[in-house]
Amino acid sequence: MEKIICACGHSNPYGTKLCEKCGRPLTEEEKQNKVVDMRYDGMAIRSKTYNKSFVDKIWNFFSSVKVGISLIIITLIAASVGTLLPQEFYVKASDMEKGAYYADVYGTFGKIYYTLGLSDLYSSWWFQILVGMLAVSIIVASLDRGIPLYKSLKNQRVKRHESFMKRQRIVAEGQVSASAEETLDKVAQKMTEMKYSVRRDGSALLAEKGRFSRYGPYINHVGLIIFLGGVMLRLVPGFYVDESIWVREGETRAITGMEGYFIENRDFILETHDNTPQGEQVKQGVNVVAKNFQTDITLYKQPEDALPGDTENLEKVKDYSIRVNHPLKEDGFALYQMDYRLNELKQMNFELINKTTEKSLGKVEIDLTNPKKEYDLGNGSSVQILVYTPDFDGFENGEPQTKTSIPNNPAFLFKMTTPETPEGEVSFVEIMQPPLEPLGENKYRMKFASAEMRDMSGITVRKDSTIPILFVGGVIFMIGVAIGSYWNHRRLWLQVEPDGRVLMAAHVNKNMFSMKKDLDAVTTFAALPPYKDQLEKDEAGEESTTGGIKEKEGDNTL
């Protein structure tokens, strides 16, 4: 690729728009522009320089800002499509029934939505590739622009060619009465006062302020990449744990995903606001607003050498009340209060009574978490449990069946022995149902007296070792964005000829408004010729015809 030799003798890389040394415009296009394109200070965008091999072509594709913006827009549109219907993870249906759920609830549209995989859009391969391509674009485009820009700004010369100066947006030209030295001194003094750093080279002067703000975009891109990298790391085994467990009051169980730890649910507490419902609450039929969901737990840990299943020597780690917004944190894990279920049967109390006299022979208290084989009532009566099914589901071959291990619908096959019936009578008792007496009419029956309930807490177990990385990424991003947005890069070039002719130019990457305040100050102080804003003049001319300021068409760096 040929080098471009500038009139000043400097040899510039191919693609350079403004001579690296003196700033003369090098391309025809730049020569015709009234105001030069200062985006990357006229440096050659690297992608432009090599475009031969396949790798270069891919590289150049991702280096293009146009491609980057297109990727942003496509991601944006794709993301919005995913909000049309609730995503699968918010749908309360099992994996098998999800397709049917979408079809039932949302009709044909739901069916298509599900079939196209839009109901799980954010974990689809194409969405991930899209975000991945965006990341590639950020990296490649930043490398291609950031590095040349850094070099260019670092090696800035004080003295620039007149054609460079005159093509800046702000230009001033004219005679001053003071001597060259005096003018330069005065400008230097005022600019230093305004916290510019001033460099001088003979009769030329460059005052510069806030150069670091030019690096803001690149810093925030670094932050974004760190963030995305962190998100990716979550897939590496060991970095991320996401489990949920149910723990009943009084129960101690191993914590899934958190090896060696056990949780005991001592108490689940549900508090409600004691307000009188009004307005919208009444309209929506909401009577009470929950105030607090809390599980009082004790966290235990096995001794180092203990095996799973060995729960004899659990060491208490701490007591804690897990509440919403107040997770329990331990050993890189966090336990969250996520869900609850109230009133699961824990104990059922019966009375053994004589059917005719209704006389009670005593109370049988059955702890459903640990039913006993036999309950002795004294006075020669006893009750035996022959069969206990926590979730009775009908008979099969004469055997009562249970649907689950949860006491949703407990049923018992009792054998009742009394002095009157020493042989014993058999009765099948199901909750809320009249007893069945398979071996003929009984004299006694088990009368349901009362029940005790317990609650259940749904706890989410979460470990996310990528959080520090994400946090660092987020902080770097914010620093970059703030630098890029709240500061700006201001430069002022000044050249004074011995005969008192002054040429001044100024550039600011944004916020010309406050730059002009600086310019006004220095112009007055050093009695410089008045400056003009070349774009403003443009606009005035154009206003009557098209009404807008000139819109730059296309990105000629692509």
Environment class of 60 (CB within 10 Å of its CB; exposed 0-12, middle 13-18, buried 19+):
buried
Which two three-digit tokens encode residue 95? 């994996």
- Distance from CA of residue 273 to its chain's centroid? 31
Q: Distance between CA 220 and CA 480 in Å, rounded?
A: 4
Q: How far is the CB of 46 from another protein (least distance, A)?
A: 8
Written as one letter, the residue type at 372 is K
Which C-beta is closer to another protein: that of 45 or that of 352?
45
Q: How far is the CB of 70 from another protein (least distance, A)?
A: 9
Q: How far is the CB of 395 from another protein (least distance, A)?
A: 14
Q: How far is the CB of 4 from another protein (least distance, A)?
A: 17
Q: Distance between CA 322 and CA 459 in Å, rounded?
A: 9
At which residue do the structure tokens 């208490």 appear?
316
Nearest to 41 by CA among 483, 493, 481: 493
Q: How far is the CB of 446 from another protein (least distance, A)?
A: 17
Q: Name the 3-class secondary structure at 199.
A: strand
Nearest to 289 by CA among 300, 277, 301, 273: 273
Report H helices in 175-306: 180-193, 216-233, 279-283
Q: How far is the CB of 516 from another protein (least distance, A)?
A: 11
Which C-beta is closer to another protein: that of 360 or that of 511?
511
- 3-class SS shares of the chain: helix, strand, coil, % to 5: 35, 30, 35
Which C-beta is closer to another protein: that of 256 or that of 421?
256
Which C-beta is closer to another protein: that of 16 or that of 495?
16
Which C-beta is closer to another protein: that of 104 or that of 181?
104
Strand partners of residue 538: none
Which C-beta is closer to another protein: that of 422 or that of 554?
554
Residues with Cβ < 8 Å from 485, sequence gap 6 or more?
216
Q: How far is the CB of 455 from another protein (least distance, A)?
A: 16
Q: How far is the CB of 203 from another protein (least distance, A)?
A: 33
Which C-beta is closer to another protein: that of 253 or that of 341?
253
Residues with Cβ < 8 Å from 546, sequence gap 6 or more?
none
Which C-beta is closer to another protein: that of 350 or that of 388?
388
Which C-beta is closer to another protein: that of 424 or that of 474?
474
The four Cα atoms 473, 479, 482, 484 give a dihedral, to 10 degrees, of: -90
Phi-psi region of 53 (alpha: psi -120 to 50; beta: other; left: phi over 0): beta
Which C-beta is closer to another protein: that of 340 or that of 448?
340
CB 327 within 8 A of CB 343: no
Q: How far is the CB of 131 from another protein (least distance, A)?
A: 9
Q: How far is the CB of 377 from another protein (least distance, A)?
A: 18
Environment class of 269 (CB within 10 Å of its CB; exposed 0-12, middle 13-18, buried 19+):
middle
